[in-house]
Copies of this chain bind each other. A is one copy, B any other.
Amino acid sequence: MSKSRRVFFLSEIVARLGGELRGEDVEIFEIAPLDQADRQSIAFLSNPKLRPQLQTTAAAAVIVKAADAAGLHCPCIVTPDPYLYFARVTALLHPQPAPVSGIHPSAIIAEDAFVDSGAEIGPQVVIESGVRIGARTVIKAGCVIGADTVIGEDCLFYPRVTVYHNTVIGNRVIIHAGAVIGSDGFGNAWARDHWEKIPQIGRAVVGDDVEIGANTTIDRGALGDTVIASGARLDNMIQIGHNVEIGRFTAIAACSGIAGSTKIGAGCLIGGGVGMSGHLKIADRVTILGGSNVPSSIDEPGVYGGSVTPIMPQGIWRRNAIHYRNLDQLVKRVKVLEKKLGATEEDTDKEEGDKL
């Protein structure tokens, strides 16, 4: 990737990305954090805690909000959203290489599969019968695409992605190595003395502009489809159960698991290591803090947490965990005391909470 790095004058960057250039029009070779930037690099300020670094950075230039543009000792680009601007400058300096159209001779392509002539199919890729792959899509080494799957244009599949049969994947979808799309959901019926498998006959359907992380698994529907809506972002090692629906632009951080048939709305932010039970409905614009379990539906937008406690020295942790085991008992003990003293709910309502 470094080979495709480019060099730009600040004025060229502003011409492409907008913003206002203040100061000298210097050349930019790289992008870096404020405290690591050198004379060839542009840096950016998006976290206000790092504002003092504006004075000490060695950067050739900085990307800042208007309010931070005064008194700088280097040129700057002024923009309302320096973080977004940083993303775009990074993409400018480090463009994704263009697909090298063609099929590697070691790839195995079914005769009745359709691969656009502008697509790039890497070594040892396997493409089964009836598959369709769109223009400029890149399928890297060792991916396996199951029968009758349809993949759109401008996608990028990193090595060793597996897509099961009859899956639908939109345009501009990025899938990282080891991800599995369309595997069977966990469907078993108990038959007196053994499990019988419930064939999983639905599909996995992934919209446009989705990114799916390394070793993430997305099960196909049991009946009907599992759906990842357009614009969603899934980090690494996420498990999406059968018939789950993930709304548009919802982002889920790594190691989260969403059990079957749960519907997550649009614009949600799900932290890392979150576990959601099955058959829930999560409203639009819900944020779940990392590590939380979600055992029930959430109807209102907002920020939610659960199941995560502070980290404590082992001795304190152990004592509190045992007290937690006896919490029901403790509540009874307080009730006894309240009765003896005639304390009422009104008393409690009047009491101010601890300042925490």
Contact = CB atoms under 8 A, between A and B. Distances in A.
Contacts of A352: 332
Nearest to A95: B199
Contacts of A98: none
Given A123-B126, A251-B195, A348-B333, A319 B90 contact: no
Given A142-B126, A186-B254, A348-B336, A158 B166 contact: no
B353 A328 contact: yes
A84 to B, nearest CB: 4
B293 A311 contact: yes
A191 B84 contact: yes
Nearest to A43: B223
Q: Can you tell how many copies of this chain the complex includes?
A: 3
A316 B332 CA distance: 14
A309 B333 contact: no
B215 A178 contact: yes
A289 B313 CA distance: 10
Find the residue from A140, A231, A309, A340 having the highest chain B CB count within 10 A: A309
B295 A317 contact: no
Contact of A178 (B96, B180, B312): B180
Interface in A320-340: 320-325, 327-338, 340
B328 A189 contact: no
A213 interface: yes
Interface stretch (A6-14, A30-38, A52-60, A66-74): A30-38
A239 interface: yes
B337 A180 contact: no
A79 to B, nearest CB: 12
Nearest to A346: B336
A304 B320 contact: no
Interface of A: 1-2, 31-33, 36, 81, 83-84, 86-88, 90-91, 93-94, 96, 104, 106, 108, 122-124, 126, 140-142, 144, 146-148, 158-160, 162, 164-166, 174, 176-178, 180, 183-184, 186-191, 194-199, 201, 209, 211, 213-215, 217, 219, 223-224, 231, 233, 235-237, 239, 241, 249, 251, 253-255, 257, 259, 272-273, 275, 277, 288-296, 298, 302-314, 316-325, 327-338, 340-341, 343, 347-348, 351-354, 356
